[in-house]
């Protein structure tokens, strides 16, 4: 795995993890009872983006390390995932 492949893999994992973490422990303005004029009641009252970004960074690093280790070690290859045999025989 090259450097750019590793970076792209980390960015994709980080993005997916961040989108999963965004709605966790979210308090909406409607739940607080203080809806700011011009916003929806479902808008976040306290979003805690910095905290969620830091947690996402740590979790994504762990997930990336596991996936990168699997790719580098060769335990699972692209040929293992090729269920339609489009790659042909290994050679």
Q: How confident is the model over 30-83, as pLDDT tens digits?
A: 888 888 899 888 888 888 899 999 999 999 999 999 999 999 998 988 888 888
Q: Name the β-bridge partners of 81.
A: none
Task: Look at 8 and 84; give whichever has higher pLDDT.
Answer: 8
Nearest C-alpha neighbor of 60 from the set 22, 26, 18:
18
Q: Name the β-bridge partners of 28.
A: 44
Which segment of 1-10, 14-23, 35-44 scores lowest on mean pLDDT? Answer: 35-44
**pLDDT-derived band of residue 5, with 50, 70 and 90 as boundaries?**
very high
């Amino acid at each position: 795995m090259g450097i750019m492949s590793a970076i792209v893999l980390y960015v994709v994992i980080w993005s997916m993890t961040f989108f999963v973490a965004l709605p966790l422990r979210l308090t909406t303005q409607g739940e607080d009872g203080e809806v700011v004029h011009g916003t929806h009641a479902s808008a976040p009252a306290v979003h805690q983006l910095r905290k969620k970004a830091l947690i996402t960074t740590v979790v994504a690093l762990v997930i990336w390390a596991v996936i990168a280790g699997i790719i580098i070690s060769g335990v699972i290859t692209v040929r293992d995932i090729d269920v339609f045999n489009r790659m042909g025989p290994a050679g």
